[in-house]
Structure 1
């Protein structure tokens, strides 16, 4: 590397760089970022993955019944449609196969390093570089850091007295032990979110008895999940525009349910009421027992918590060997669960389906003057300009950060985040800069715009009381979902004012 600082190329530094760009995470977001970087001429990058392969969620989640929870046609890269989905809501194994094919087709393994667990990332304000420390002790120095670690990556361990004393089997959705046979076992599922909706009907036929512990009921939308005939798959391959049309339709439907119902609640209250009516009708038809039906009925408005699709979850409670428990858990002993009313139920295995910590960063990130990103979000509020960047952390990009999730489709969010990040990198290169960060003014303006728009959504309505939603954080904010329609978000993210960023040169 040249020592003449006047001749340094884009991304070079006084301190030797291992790579110009580091991507953390080889899930669909990290792979999408890598593909776009290659497409736009950025070749000096590495993807660091803490596990043994690509795939993210679909590599880690292999629990019984796992499947995508939005239509498969929407859940794919727009530039890489998959005509071979077996169902409208594809099982998890097909998503993992898709990830492997994408990694191979776009030669991402040339840039991939697996089993690299990042412990910390520190910004050097003098040389303008990031230093990453791996669990192995290795250090990696880069100019730009793109964190694609995931929004829901850290499981939330329930704070239940005695859980550590349990001597039976504890199963977790993100690390399912397939060697443990549930046949004939007394099993307890703790949690009734989207994961539990898939696990409960999948394991109920095998267990001797299944207790489902519910803190908050969930809105369940009927799941239109037909198999995709081979003739249709053939048509998608020969006529790609037909699949794109289906993708457009399913995306519009999913966004209509999630975004319009949640973001434009005040303007469109009849829409949420209509969806609630559909959900209640399904519950009435599928659950025979009146008391169970009442317990499964949410007491908050649709959209306050992320809804999910299922045709089999409610039906599981018609089984004589499945019990819905709404009494709070008091404690867990070596072989049983005792609730607040004093009832003790023996159990051989416990399934923890208790959700995730939202926007939890699985490694320490320190920016200018040692500012800690996690502590900043904890003491102030979760925030990021365009859902991607924070002023105190130059050359750091989040895909996605707070207010960076758009619509129901994870791939729509990836498209937006990747487009914004790589566009900023192109502008940085164009200006011959080595450091880029949003200006405090632009960042503050964006945050307050988001806070104003959230006020019109369902999260701030009286109907969300008692929903225990991960959409609403400890500050009373709702930074998970971007409070606007996808079209408006796309315009904002891709057509942003370049002067909202500060471009400087450390050479």
Structure 2
């Protein structure tokens, strides 16, 4: 165990949140920071999810930093490797690697009220102290494994999409895929093209719309490179194309009309792709459109029509060494099971333990569902900010836009803390309560509150994920750090 290290700011994670936050801190003159990364490279979810077909469902010109535009994206919707390359380019461009401690997981963080510092305990036994703690661990960092009886008894090969086994040969094999979420609809076509037989186990049919993707021509890329204004215009046009879709989720009369029209168009397209009545019945969604994440793919439905592919809608009773047993008593014998079961999105920051004033455990504070002021700050946890925190997820636009709003707010908070001379600041409880009451009231009227079972909500039904409005409203709310919303040492927290 080495001597404790220290910095003014500690950042956890090197995905879009951590890399962008560090770049903006440095640009503002706050360069005394350390970034902790449990893996051996940057990239977050784009480093870990390298399954075949992994790509983004937000156009690349908007799914990138406004302060680090990239003129040479190869296509409109970039793939995993290209996005990972971009994050590595940003780490180099902003000279961040010297501030990153790779292979270093933060096990727990506890606030030392006397010193006004966060004490980080690292895997391996080392400690680090920092005045300000910024968590950029994201919502999609921990794989969710299904709680199926016998899951550890399977005798074949099993892996999650985020831990893809690239050495496994699907050729000549009978394969089962559990789950039909965002990852599965991307890798299922690749398995279907290789396996002898594929059984896709589906609980609820997702809405999978066409993806308006295409490669950029060399001359188009050259124009973006030569005329940066064109690239900024493309970014703005993409934002203007996506943002009005927020109407479709907000529960307004206009939104309900738009979503009905969009669903009719979707169903017409589905019937053109799936002509077999039995298969069509299986893949036709029963949840309201938008209640769960709307997915995008041009090859998912075509992959399902193969004679060697079967969509299984019977529930899974258990897993046995030979394969999967469904509730009808049938045993589906397979050589491999691929889990496309997503992430533990509602378990923010886990498994890291965070302890605030008076020994308050953040996990206990969040026992009924995560919440935070602006998705960024929690009462009783001073000088602590989260990026992509509770209720900042989107269904209609780019999370990078939301992150940039958060970067600006946190930099402003860091500057205010430096200027005020206070040891620490923590958001007032009454402010956070009023904010979250309003957020939950808005969410109660949205399409996400129509009763579907998805990853946006906790088991108790609380939506801890989504931002209920337009992204420009969030940007307005985070434009300036408001000291009056925070309490300093010795002040009474309402």
The equivalent position to 1:165 in structure 2, one of 149, 153, 168, is: 153
Q: Secondary structure at the match of 2:279?
A: helix
1:290 equivalent in alignment to 2:277: yes
The equivalent position to 2:300 in structure 1, one of 289, 313, 317, is: 313
Conserved 8 A contact 1:404-1:417: no
In the TM superposition, what is the alpha-carbon distance from 1:475 to its structure 2 partner? 3.3
In the TM superposition, what is the alpha-carbon distance from 1:381 to its structure 2 partner? 3.3
Using structure 1 for the length normalisation, give the TM-score: 0.93
Distance 1:228 1:103, change over 3 A: same
Q: Secondary structure at the match of 1:132?
A: strand
The equivalent position to 1:193 in structure 2, one of 181, 198, 212, is: 181
In the TM superposition, what is the alpha-carbon distance from 1:267 to its structure 2 partner? 4.5
What residue in structure 1 maps to residue 44 of structure 2? 56
What residue in structure 2 maps to residue 36 of structure 1? 24
Give the distance between the partners of 2:7 and 2:460, measured in 1 at CA.
Answer: 37
CA RMSD of aligned residues (A): 1.7
Structure 2 unmatched runs, 5+ = none
Conserved 8 A contact 1:182-1:203: yes
What residue in structure 2 maps to residue 437 of structure 1? 426
What residue in structure 2 maps to residue 81 of structure 1? 69
Structure 1 unmatched runs, 5+ = 1-14
Conserved 8 A contact 1:152-1:359: no
In the TM superposition, what is the alpha-carbon distance from 1:336 to its structure 2 partner? 1.4
1:72 equivalent in alignment to 2:60: yes
Length, aligned pairs only: 486
Q: Secondary structure at the match of 1:268?
A: helix
Conserved 8 A contact 1:191-1:354: yes
Matches within 5 A, 1:94-173: 94-173=82-161
Q: Secondary structure at the match of 2:221?
A: helix
What residue in structure 1 maps to residue 341 of structure 2? 354
Q: Secondary structure at the match of 1:130?
A: strand
What residue in structure 2 maps to residue 503 of structure 1? 488
Conserved 8 A contact 1:266-1:457: no
What residue in structure 1 maps to residue 439 of structure 2? 450
Give the distance between the partners of 2:4 and 2:165, measured in 1 at CA.
Answer: 43
Give the distance between the partners of 2:181 and 2:243, measured in 1 at CA.
Answer: 19
Conserved 8 A contact 1:387-1:405: no
In the TM superposition, what is the alpha-carbon distance from 1:486 to its structure 2 partner? 1.1
Give the distance between the partners of 1:77 and 1:398, measured in 2 at CA.
Answer: 18
In the TM superposition, what is the alpha-carbon distance from 1:375 to its structure 2 partner? 2.0
What residue in structure 1 maps to residue 241 of structure 2? 253
Using structure 2 for the length normalisation, give the TM-score: 0.95
Distance 1:138 1:17, change over 3 A: closer
Q: Secondary structure at the match of 2:183?
A: helix
Q: Secondary structure at the match of 1:494?
A: coil
Deviation string for 1:101-148 (max 9, x for gaps)? 111111010211100011111111222211111111101111110000
In the TM superposition, what is the alpha-carbon distance from 1:266 to its structure 2 partner? 4.5
Distance 1:178 1:197, change over 3 A: same
